[in-house]
Amino acid sequence: MIKKVKIEDFNYPLPDGKIALYPANQRDASKLLVYKNNCISDSYFNKISDFLPDNTALFYNDTKVVHARLIFYKETSARIELFCLEPAESDNIAIELAKTRHVKWKCLIGNSRRWTSGQLTKTTNINGEDVTVTAERISILSDCSIISFSWNADISFAEVLEHLGKVPLPPYIHRESDNNDSTRYQTVFAEAEGSVAAPTAGLHFTPKLISELNAKGIETTPLTLHVGAGTFKPVSSVFINDHNMHAERISVTVDTLEKLHDDIGNKFIIPVGTTTCRTLESLYWFGIMLSKNPNLNGVLSLDQWYPYQETTPQNINAKESINTILKWLSDNNLTSFEGFTSLMITPFYKLRIPDAIITNFHQPKSTLLLLISAFVGENWHKIYEHALNNDYRFLSYGDSCLFFKI
């Protein structure tokens, strides 16, 4: 099992003035910190190809952020905010977003004490039609509420959110979202709707930069992990062993799996962001699960501590593991792998697939910082100190990093 690690060991001072409240004027104009062979280099993201090996294969998260924050006002003028987390009746986000007239979602409620009963309504014009949306709380769970939404038009819930909702900026960005956030808090890769937070490492890419990378033979391949609000959940336990990791849905096509299988051992694999890294590593463990029990079916789930269990095989290589998934998909006539991952990557975790990672700077005492330590070990301390002392901007709208695995 995993060794006990104190989360306080992953704390560092982060002044409010270092947290980026707005994105850089141009996506690829953000600063870039490169850590390789125990050396730190300072550059800009539009120069990242200068630091990538010629045989690099980039994998990126193509999830799209939905406008998950809905603001209602009671007749008393009390402001009630509903933060849509995930569907309540199905684990298929795409299907639930496509539904018309009625859905049930798990939501966080802002100013909940002012809304004890009754319905909330709001009317807006969508495609030239006045649409009235009604929200009703039908049950209260331990960490959220179930909200029933209904509206008087044959439009999808995705369209309702797009027109009525606001961009769900992270809680540490202390301002209201504006029109600019609708595009800037969305990567240029975004296609698959379902996230309530952006895969922020991808925010630095532009179509022009991607074309330049492709022209140099650097390939880019999509996969999907829908980012949940749990990504901002602080580790409140003393030891990371006692932290309950949130689950997030992944979806990876056969084409991407075949590309990954071919790249392992032949390419320098770099995930764009921690979400992509978790997806790649989760795929390895899903392959291990299927090698032990090929008769599993449906949408699989990966427990946060599965890799650390003594009974979990550790000697199967990554290529074999991905091939196991491909065979399972073929045997079940499936065109994509669907699963939920709660994988927690810690300082003692052995990375199976990535050789480096493109990422942002992360919050103190966060699971994302634990993941970074799997790449650079205790060196994260000096890296972050360098960034703080050299005017790097931190967190979601902040600057970027390229960390090579030690």
Rg (CA), the chain: 21
Q: Give pLDDT tens digits for 299-334.
A: 999 999 999 999 999 999 999 999 999 999 999 999
Q: Give pLDDT tens digits for 244-291.
A: 998 999 999 999 999 999 999 999 999 999 999 999 999 999 999 999
Separation CA 38–CA 170 (nearest Å)? 32
* 336-341/248-253 β-pairing: antiparallel
Q: Give pLDDT tens digits for 146-201.
A: 999 999 999 999 999 999 999 999 999 999 999 999 999 999 999 999 999 999 99
Kindly give, in sequence order, each residue whose CB lies less than 8 Å from that of residue 67, ignoring residues fewer than 6 positions away.
161, 162, 164, 165, 166, 167, 168, 182
Query: What pLDDT, on the 0 to 100 scale, is given for residue 90?
Result: 87
The C-alpha angle with vertex 132 and arms to 130 and 137, in degrees rounded to 5, equals: 165
DSSP character string of 13-77: ---GGGB-SS--SSGGGSEEEEEETTEEEEEEGGGGGGGS-TTEEEEEE-EEE---EEEEE-TT-
Selection from 289, 275, 261 nearest residue 357 by Cα: 275
Supply the pTM of this predicted model.
0.95
DSSP state at residue 172: T
Give first-to-last CA distance, the chain, whole Å.
23
DSSP state at residue 216: T
Q: In what order do the strands lie in the sheet with 248-253?
A: 268-271, 56-61, 219-225, 248-253, 336-341, 300-302
Instruction: Label residue 105 exposed, middle or buried (CB < 10 Å: 0-12, 13-18, 19+).
Output: buried
State mean pLDDT over 98-125.
93
- CA 131, distance to chain mean position in Å, is 31
Other Cβ atoms closer than 10 A to 18: 16
Q: Which domains does the chain have, with CATH numbers?
A: 7-64+185-404 (3.40.1780.10), 68-165 (no CATH)
Q: How far is CA 80 from CA 5, 141, 218, in A?
A: 39, 18, 47
Selection from 85, 87, 135 nearest residue 115 by Cα: 135
Give residue 64's pLDDT band: very low, low, confident or very high (50, 70, 90). Answer: very high
Query: What pLDDT, on the 0 to 100 scale, is given for residue 1?
Result: 57
Residue 137 has pLDDT above 90, yes or no: yes
State mean pLDDT over 210-232.
93
Query: What pLDDT, on the 0 to 100 scale, is given for residue 91?
Result: 83
Residue 3 has pLDDT above 80, yes or no: no
Tokens 């540490």, residue located: 172
DSSP 3-state of 370: helix
Three-state SS annotation for 38-51: CEEEEEEHHHHHHH
Type of residue at 103: V
Total H helices, total E strands in the chain: 9, 18
Query: What pLDDT, on the 0 to 100 scale, is given for residue 398?
Result: 98
Tokens 């199976």, residue located: 352
Residue 270, beta-bridge partner list: 58
Give residue 235's pLDDT band: very low, low, confident or very high (50, 70, 90). Answer: confident
Residue 129, beta-bridge partner list: 126
